[in-house]
Structure 1
Amino acid sequence: MQNVTAHASEGINLTCGMSGNHGFIFTLVPVVYGFNFVIGVVGNSMVVAVIYRYMKLKTVANVFVLNLAISDLTFLITLPMWATFTATGYYWPFGSFLCKACAGLVIFNLYTSIFFLTALSVDRCLAIVQPVRSRRYRTAGYARVSCVLVWLVAFALSVPTALTREVYIITNETTVCGVLHSKDALRPKNLLLAISLMKSLLGFLVPFLIIVSCYCLIGRALLRSRHIQRSARPREDEVLRMLAAAVLAFFLCWAPHQVVHFLQVLHQLKVLADCSVLELIDTAMPFTICVAYFNSCVNPLVYGFVGANFRRNLLRLLCCAQRGVPVAHPSISSKMSALSFRASEALSLTAKGKTSSADGQ
């Protein structure tokens, strides 16, 4: 949006007015945000509980999936504020700090999601294409180090977005959380353009090319190994199907937003300078954001429908919760079952000893 700055007391005059200012947006979008928040928080909390309780953190895939769920949860806590912002006609009542933090968390979730999916794709590729060589590197320890690097890089990439967001007072007394595009300030304009290009390249295009390359290598390796019995790798196939579904869901959720965001970049470059084009961009943007935010609650559905192992453990968790039985840690429950087996074995041996002694008498 192209803005002209006035004095602070007068507010800001907008060259193209309040683009995308439609009543149905203020009604529909908050409802979708609320749906995403409820489904996403419940679903990702179950993912965290199932992996921690039953599936453990001894495999690379589980480490990355757990971090992906935590990333989604950190973003979902901002949705009630975005819903309020939209429901009140783009009025931001939460102050400057939360404006910056919420905007930064949106981009932070974008980067962490695509980076974790990329790391999962590379892991599957190494497991199938180079199973022997990659075994020493595909450990839970290396996966945890990779997760720390992903969190740090994603945080560094999201900081500029947080810093450029601010609370502005528009001339119609509306307080918005947004970005000011000034005609005169060249450095902020270049910074905003760099942030937009990073979001498109590092947050979507480059990782997606890496993921597609990984799947091409995986497909070629699987075609070469047709003679190998599929029963020998059921776990590998399940993880691969689950990852493919998660990557497809990410692409379908974020691609519309990236297209509209690219049009917004063209408007920043003055390639598209008409106010009618800006009106179209600002009207479509809230709906593409809704679809993009839906990605944070679709991953648990993917795990439930595609991952048979995850589905079994989820049913175990739900059954224990309904009965009110405390869910023991897997290591504790395995030790208890081993002790009970040894105790029953000892009792059977004792009973056999008594029977044999009675027969001897």
Structure 2
Amino acid sequence: MHDPPEMDTVSVAINGSVVTACEPPYDAGRLPLVLLYSGVLVVGLPSNLLTLGLTWQQLSRGSVLGIYLWSLSLCDLTYLLTLPLWASYVSRGHVWPWSSAACKVTGYIFFNNMYVSIFLLCCVSCDRYVAVVYSLESRGLRRQRLAVLIALAIVLLVAVGHLPVFTMSEGDAAERDRRCFEPSQSSSKVAAFNCARFMVGFLIPLLLLVVTNRGILANVQRSTGLQREQKERVRWLAVAVVVLFLVCFAPYHLILLVRAVMFHLTGPNAASCLLEETMYTPYTVSLGLSTLNSAVNPILYVLSSDNIRKELNRGLAQVCGRARTRPRSHSSQNETRPNKTSSDPKTLSDLNAATEEQRGGKPPGS
């Protein structure tokens, strides 16, 4: 087995007591992390721009779920715009070349949009659950105006909740060693903040995702109006939502929790250096994994929809000149028009379409 990377320690006298300051292995995993950030940006930027336009079309048709999906794409785009700065920071050996204010603003946008995205994912699953399990009862409750208010409330609450970022010394990159929100720069305030992030930003959303997707799956499996293949697609989507959430966010938040607990137990002393030595590289890797969510969301939530895929194919066909023939234009419109007899959401082949029945009980676009 390879020995863990050595961590430099520096003893500093503060108020007569000696406190050991740790120097994490900043160069460990630098190249893979830069490649990961770059890959997520290359995939996530065009896919979110595409889904932003596709979901906007759904909004014009009265889609409630489209509100959350459009907000999610916009959130992920804002989130992705910080990745070039983080990639540059990591490639420089975790040296922040810009001002302290730039560090705090970038960190604020990065973490703020991470949790806005998490809560919007919960909204998507909850909306699907209500529309599938309580399809009749929810017709008068699922309104676009309510969805807009919920999305705005989430953005406002998360934005206010992350304002302490601007008061934390961990973001003072222009001072000391020019680091920007490194995990070794811990304090009691950071430890308490990380505990809150674990509970509110990970554990509660995870429970919501598990409960709602399990309810959707159980309801669809009992339905007699769906074929076996359609049920398998719903099962795949429900499982994929939870698995993606765990892969992207569980490692990062578990490390946050462990670090917060160990800080309260040991404090900023020499014993904590061993923890930083063993957990720094996993921490950076877990932070990189959290960015995968922004690249996969469009594929999982939007581009997996049959209706949206057909709409995308029609648009591509028009761009490529396949739909230039005038005589076929009227017939093609009739062929792509949804069948009004399929108003029951349980008879739709796609869960996104199933949860998008309009106020009158008809599917979107009817």
Note whether the superposition's TM-score is higher than 0.5: yes
**Contact persistence 1:242–1:307 (CA under 8 A):** no
Identity %: 23
1:267-278 matches, within 5 Å, as 267-271=262-266, 273-278=271-276
**Contact persistence 1:19–1:278 (CA under 8 A):** yes
Question: Distance in 1 between the 2:279 and 2:215 partners?
Answer: 38
Query: What displacement does 1:238 show?
Result: 6.9
1:83-162 matches, within 5 Å, as 83-162=87-166
Residue in structure 1 matched with residue 285 of structure 2 by the alignment: 287
Cα distance change on mapping 1:26 and 1:261 into 2, 3 Å: same
**Contact persistence 1:34–1:79 (CA under 8 A):** yes
Question: Distance in 2 between the 1:16 and 1:284 partners?
Answer: 20
* 1:236-289 CA distance string (max 9 Å, x none): 997886465334312211111122222221232135834222111112111111
**Contact persistence 2:125–2:209 (CA under 8 A):** yes
**Contact persistence 1:125–1:215 (CA under 8 A):** yes
Give yes or no for the alignment of 1:21 onto 2:26: yes
1:255-270 matches, within 5 Å, as 255-270=250-265
Specify the code of the residue in structure 1 equivalent to 2:120: F
* 1:76-102 CA distance string (max 9 Å, x none): 110000011110011111212221111
Q: Could you tell me which of 47, 58, 61 is aligned with 2:62?
A: 58
Cα distance change on mapping 1:203 and 1:54 into 2, 3 Å: closer
Cα distance change on mapping 1:151 and 1:237 into 2, 3 Å: farther
Residue in structure 1 matched with residue 306 of structure 2 by the alignment: 308
Query: What displacement does 1:14 show?
Result: 8.4
Q: TM-score, normalised by structure 1?
A: 0.75
**Contact persistence 2:44–2:294 (CA under 8 A):** yes
1:210-359 matches, within 5 Å, as 210-222=208-220, 225-226=222-223, 228-230=224-226, 242=237, 244-271=239-266, 273-303=271-301, 306-322=304-320
Q: Could you tell me which of 41, 44, 65 is aligned with 1:40?
A: 44
CA RMSD of aligned residues (A): 3.5
**Contact persistence 2:41–2:80 (CA under 8 A):** yes
Give yes or no for the alignment of 1:177 onto 2:173: no
**Contact persistence 1:3–1:181 (CA under 8 A):** no
3-state SS in 1 of match to 2:97: coil
**Contact persistence 2:100–2:174 (CA under 8 A):** no
Question: Distance in 2 between the 1:162 and 1:322 partners?
Answer: 49
Query: What displacement does 1:220 show?
Result: 4.3
Query: What displacement does 1:121 show?
Result: 1.6
Specify the code of the residue in structure 2 equivalent to 1:276: L
Specify the code of the residue in structure 1 equivalent to 2:265: K
**Contact persistence 2:59–2:67 (CA under 8 A):** no
Structure with bigger gyration radius: 1
Tell me the matched-pair count. 312
Gaps of 5+ in 1: 8-12, 184-188, 326-332, 339-361
**Contact persistence 2:217–2:234 (CA under 8 A):** no
**Contact persistence 1:20–1:279 (CA under 8 A):** yes
* 1:124-164 CA distance string (max 9 Å, x none): 22122222222211122211111111111121222223432
* 1:202-222 CA distance string (max 9 Å, x none): 111011112222234334444
- Indicate the structure with greater helix content: 1
Q: Could you tell me which of 25, 40, 49 is aligned with 2:53?
A: 49
**Contact persistence 2:248–2:289 (CA under 8 A):** yes
Specify the code of the residue in structure 1 equivalent to 2:70: L
Question: Distance in 1 between the 2:157 and 2:59 partners?
Answer: 27
Specify the code of the residue in structure 1 equivalent to 2:226: R
3-state SS in 1 of match to 2:180: strand
**Contact persistence 2:34–2:87 (CA under 8 A):** yes
**Contact persistence 1:100–1:163 (CA under 8 A):** no
Cα distance change on mapping 1:120 and 1:304 into 2, 3 Å: closer
Q: Could you tell me which of 201, 204, 221 is aligned with 1:203?
A: 201
Give yes or no for the alignment of 1:166 onto 2:166: no
**Contact persistence 2:192–2:260 (CA under 8 A):** no
Cα distance change on mapping 1:315 and 1:247 into 2, 3 Å: farther
Question: Distance in 2 between the 1:57 and 1:289 partners?
Answer: 37
Query: What displacement does 1:115 show?
Result: 0.9
Residue in structure 2 matched with residue 353 of structure 1 by the alignment: none
**Contact persistence 2:266–2:272 (CA under 8 A):** no
